[in-house]
Chains A and B, each alone.
Chain A
Amino acid sequence: MIALLALLLLAATASAHIVPVPPSTCAFDPLTIEAPAAGVVGTAAPAGSSDQFRILYDPQASQAEFDMQSLPPRGFTAAGVDGTLALPGILLVALRNSGDLVVTTSLAFTMNAATTSVPMTLTTGLAAAAGLVVEGTPIASDGRFALVGVTADSGLGPPLAGGLLTVRLAGQAVPRPDTDQFFLATRTTPLSASLTARVFKLRAIFAPGAMDVPDFAGRPAILRVSSGDTTIAAVVLPSGLPARGRKLFVGHSDDGRAAFGVRQLQRSGQVAFLLAVKIKGPVLPAVPASPVAVTFTYDAGGLLSHLPLAMRVKRHGTVLHYP
């Protein structure tokens, strides 16, 4: 019994291990607003000290809290017209251990003495509207990230009229938060990939986070393949991936150019899926050296994942493949 008590004591005096996530400071810079239909790009003035805000972290809720209560509306100029953009005082942004941020909010644009509220989902993943796909950047090792959003019908007047509107908010969280304690993001493991001027093909296995329940048939699917600033291919499947039986979901683009399918795998203790993608007519990136860094990003069934691929070059850059 004495030995038991000793063991109890050992267990009891184990030191606490909390790893606090200290607040970060950040400012959105650059901040760009674009109306592609009108061909207008608005850029905010460089961020000043009054544009700094705090980000507080909540691992229990897996959220980052952007405290912008003291932030004045941000001025910008588009096609020679001055305006301001205001965000809510506090934004509760979902944060995953991958560094991905997502929030649905409302942006208040004031131009020509009129204020218009534009609902928008801002994400470091993919957003799409009217066939346009935009991609953000999750929190990187240096704290840099970019939130993007797009809407098909902004309701804004000139010079940002035309319906389609994109917003990009880039920033750097200092210090960079340790995201280990936040909810697990979808993890994707590549099996094979190839890229030619004719077709892009990819096979991978992915596992959702423990709290994720994918809805492949009920939510739109978006995917983008890129290398640096070059978009190799971007596809939107507004109807998601219709079910073909209980474990297979396959979606095709309206023009028949792209196919995206997932199949649930039988794996003990883990929900996992096999992913297969085929896209015709991709854009081959410039190939300065081998391997070429290609990123495959997808948002399907509510699952967001970024898959970096180091693709090897063959046949003088006309064929890229992984592994």
Chain B
Amino acid sequence: MGRRMRLPSRTLAATLPLLASMASAGQPRTLKLHFPRLIIPGATNPEACVLVRVPATTPFDVASIEIRHRGVGRTFAVQHFLVHLYTGEQLGEFEAERGHVAESRGCLDLGPADRDRRQLVASGTAARSRSGFPPGVALRLAPVPDTPGGPPAGLGFTFDGEWVNGTTRTHRASALVVLHRARAKAVTRVALPFSDRSAEAGLLVAPGQVASTEALAAGQQAAWGPGRPGGPDTGACVLMVTGQMHKRGRFLGVDLVGPDGTVENPAGGTPNPFAPGRSHLFGAIDWTDEGTLVRAHPLALGMGQGLHYACWDDNGEMRSLRLGCGQATGTAPGEVGAPAQQCTTDTDCPAMNPDCRSANLVAGPTPEDEICRLNGIYFPADPVSGCPP
């Protein structure tokens, strides 16, 4: 049994100074991170977010992640609790949000401009849950810089909690996230997060429409896998698959495809609500909590195979219209790579495009724009034996 570093568990503020010495004094056996106490009024369903920065200069290999909830019961439950690893390059901006609990759907209203660069690494709604990896596998959490181009400075996490208080009474909730470090001698394979956003080049939805990223050629080709751009050079053993969308995303589907693009999904997948008769290896319908596909045995992807994915986005059918500055007549503003300037009234718009009107929905960095990303966790396949059974 390795050394266990016990940290005060009352407040996040009390935790961080001790963690600050993590890199210099050797890595602790566990990292304990807190979601501060939150007041949940009766008959409400809030979603709240906390950003946590843990100073570190070397990777932290995680064997398991434990989530403990306080205050929950039969009539007061956790709807979701997600632990996202920040993979961007502006970790320094987490400091400004330190200890602050922000009410936000999908945690899109706080954090740095590249806040979408994040990976789901754990989730749990039970009073106590623990997410682990197969024997010998550890997830490597790599430190990221405080500013773009800077040296590794720490680990960033976004905690995204949603609670349902079905009572008339006010309840209090808090959570503790414990990252258990893998013992170095026990690690035989290092798992890594992966992310692909090539489908966003196919994201273009006219006002009043629902459209798929597959409507454009760029979206039809979107996939991640061995030998593909952004993929590993060897085979990949995929442990987890998830997706990422913004608020106008209504469905994300993932297919297993062969080298020739043929869909090779196993039977019994997730039905596509927008394409009757089509099903997927994995499907997500909730942009705030996409869920995950976790394999009891790794999904082996050989060279040329891949995970194709697509999003179905709604610009004014059931979700709100994207508004942008343009001309009152003519085509809707906004095109792939160039989202329309946001507005709420005409006064927000420049003289050149004076009218705040319905705009095309495309991919972009703000919560008003969309994203369509495939995320997951994998480890490289052994060149000889491939993926373990």
Residues of A within 8 A of B (CB): 1, 4-5, 7-20, 22-23, 56-61, 63, 65, 67, 69, 88-90, 92, 97, 105-106, 180-181, 183-184, 187, 207, 209-211, 268-270
Residue of A nearest to B120 (CB): A12
Asked if residues B291 and A14 are in contact (CB atoms below 8 Å), the reply is yes
B134 touches A5 (CB 8 A): yes
B319 engages A5 (CB within 8 Å): no
Additional pairs, 16, CB under 8 Å, beyond known A8-B133, A17-B286, A184-B41: A8-B131, A11-B125, A14-B123, A14-B125, A15-B291, A16-B286, A17-B80, A18-B286, A56-B318, A59-B105, A61-B320, A88-B346, A89-B357, A211-B103, A269-B38, A269-B172
Q: How many angstroms between the C-alpha atoms of A5 and B239 in the bound complex?
A: 11
CB-CB under 8 A for A58 and B247, given A1-B135, A9-B296 = yes
**Does any Cβ of A come within 8 Å of B102's Cβ?**
yes
* Interface residues in B293-326 (C-beta closer than 8 Å to A): 293-294, 296, 316, 318-321, 323
- Within B74-107, the residues touching A (CB, 8 Å) are 79-80, 101-106
- Beyond A8-B132, A11-B123, A269-B36, whether A210 also contacts B367 by CB under 8 A is no
State which of B43, B133, B318 has its C-beta within 8 Å of the C-beta of A5: B133
Most buried by B among A11, A18, A19, A56: A11
Judge whether B284 and A16 touch: CB under 8 Å: yes
The residues in B between 249 and 271 inclusive whose CB is less than 8 angstroms from any CB of A are none
Q: 22 interchain pairs (CB within 8 A)?
A: A1-B134, A4-B132, A8-B130, A8-B132, A8-B133, A8-B294, A11-B125, A11-B129, A11-B131, A12-B293, A58-B320, A59-B105, A60-B104, A65-B321, A92-B345, A181-B47, A181-B105, A207-B41, A210-B46, A210-B102, A211-B103, A269-B172
Least CB distance from A208 to B in Å reads 11
In whole angstroms, what is the CA distance A97 to B37 when docked?
21
A-B complex: 4 closest residue pairs judged by Cβ atoms: A4-B132, A18-B286, A16-B286, A12-B294
- Which chain B residue has the least Cβ–Cβ distance from A210? B103
- Residues on the A chain within 8 Å of B36, using CB: 269
Cα distance A61–B346 when bound, in Å? Answer: 19
List B contacts of A187 (CB < 8 A).
Answer: 41
Asked if A1 and B132 sit within 8 Å, CB to CB, the answer is yes
Range of interface residues on chain B? 35 or more
Residues of chain A lying within 8 A (CB to CB) of residue B293:
12
List the A residue with the shortest CB-CB distance to B100.
A210
| B323 contact from A19, A92, A210, Cβ within 8 A | A92
Looking at A13, A17, A89, A106, which has the most chain B CB atoms within 10 Å of its CB? A17
Closest residue of chain B to A180 (Cβ to Cβ) is B45
Q: Which of A4, A22, A210, A270 contacts B131 (CB 8 A)?
A: A4
**B288 lies within 8 A of chain A by Cβ:** yes
Asked if residues A56 and B103 are in contact (CB atoms below 8 Å), the reply is: no
Q: A69 contacts B358, CB within 8 Å?
A: yes
Residues of B within 8 A of A184 (CB): 41, 44, 46, 103
- Cβ–Cβ contact A18 & B287, under 8 A: yes
What residues of chain A lie closer than 8 Å to B109, measured between beta carbons?
60
The reply to whether the CB of B290 lies closer than 8 angstroms to some CB of chain A is yes
Inter-chain contacts of A4 with B (CB < 8 A): 64, 130-133
A14–B131 alpha-carbon span in the complex (Å)? 13
Q: Which residues of A contact B288 (CB under 8 A)?
A: 18
Report the minimal beta-carbon distance from B182 to chain A, rounded to whole angstroms.
Answer: 11
Q: Are A5 and B132 in contact (CB under 8 A)?
A: yes
A178 (CB) vs chain B CBs: closest residue:
B45
Instruction: Tell me if B211 is interfacial: C-beta within 8 Å of chain A.
Output: no
Which B residues touch A57, using CB under 8 A? 320
Contact A61 B39 (CB under 8 A): no
Q: Does B292 make an interface contact (CB < 8 A)?
A: yes
A58 to B36, CA, bound (A): 27
Q: Are A60 and B345 in contact (CB under 8 A)?
A: no
- Complex Cα gap A110–B323 (Å): 27
- B296 and A269 within 8 A (CB): no
Chain B residues near A92 (CB-CB < 8 A): 323, 344-345
Contact B101 A210, beta carbon cutoff 8 Å: yes
- Nearest A residue to B37 by beta-carbon distance? A269
Query: Is B196 interfacial (CB-CB < 8 Å)?
Result: no
B240 within 8 Å of A (CB atoms): yes
Shortest Cβ distance from B375 into chain A, in angstroms?
A: 13
